[in-house]
Amino acid sequence: MDRNAIDLGRRSFLTGRYRTPPDRIRPPWSREASIAAACTGCGACVPACPQHIIALDPDGRPSLNFAAAECSFCGACAEACPEPVFDRTAAAFAHVAVIGSNCFAGRGIICQSCGDACPEAAIRFRPRLGGPALPELSADRCSGCGACAATCPASAVTMSVPRLEVAHG
């Protein structure tokens, strides 16, 4: 059994709860299913990326790190891959940006770097009395490129696959 699969916190250890694996952000035009089915872990996509945001995760599969740059949707990773991992006819990303609670604006510090960096204008700022304007993200306009995450000084912007809401009736 993988030692990292079990949450060794006291309560979780005693109840046998497993650690949830972190969400991996995959390269554009690829999905978990295609990576699981076709990726050999050769790493050809890593040096092909001109932004240097692709790295192999601990399982040897490509994942993105938006800490320093964004995806330009150049397609170099898809062209370099010898396997049928990438589907250029699908939407580039299934994820969108999420602005976390450690956002400077939410803590009273004026900052609009994420909105300034967003090429899709998916982040707007809602004015409020007594504090700086708060960011609001339009998920339908977000391309998932990571430009906002790369420029956020508080590391408050992450990427997440939207969860489908289930109606309880």
Q: What is the pLDDT of residue 3?
A: 47
101 & 150 share domain = yes
Q: What is the pLDDT of residue 165?
A: 47
* pTM across the whole model: 0.78
In a domain, 148, yes or no: yes
| Number of domains within the chain | 2
State pLDDT tens for residues 21-62.
557 899 999 999 999 999 999 999 999 999 999 999 999 999
Check if the beta carbon of residue 21 is closer than 8 Å to that of residue 6. Answer: no
Q: What is the pLDDT of residue 13?
A: 55
In a domain, 11, yes or no: no
Least confident of 8-12, 62-66, 85-89: 8-12
119 & 60 share domain = no
124 & 103 share domain = yes
Q: What is the CATH number of the domain that holds 73?
A: 3.30.70.20
In a domain, 14, yes or no: no
67 & 102 share domain = no
81 Cβ partners below 8 Å, 6+ apart? 44, 45
State pLDDT tens for residues 156-169.
999 988 755 444 44
DSSP 87-136: -TTS-S-S-EEEE-TT-TGGGT----HHHHH-TT--EEEEEETTEEEEEE
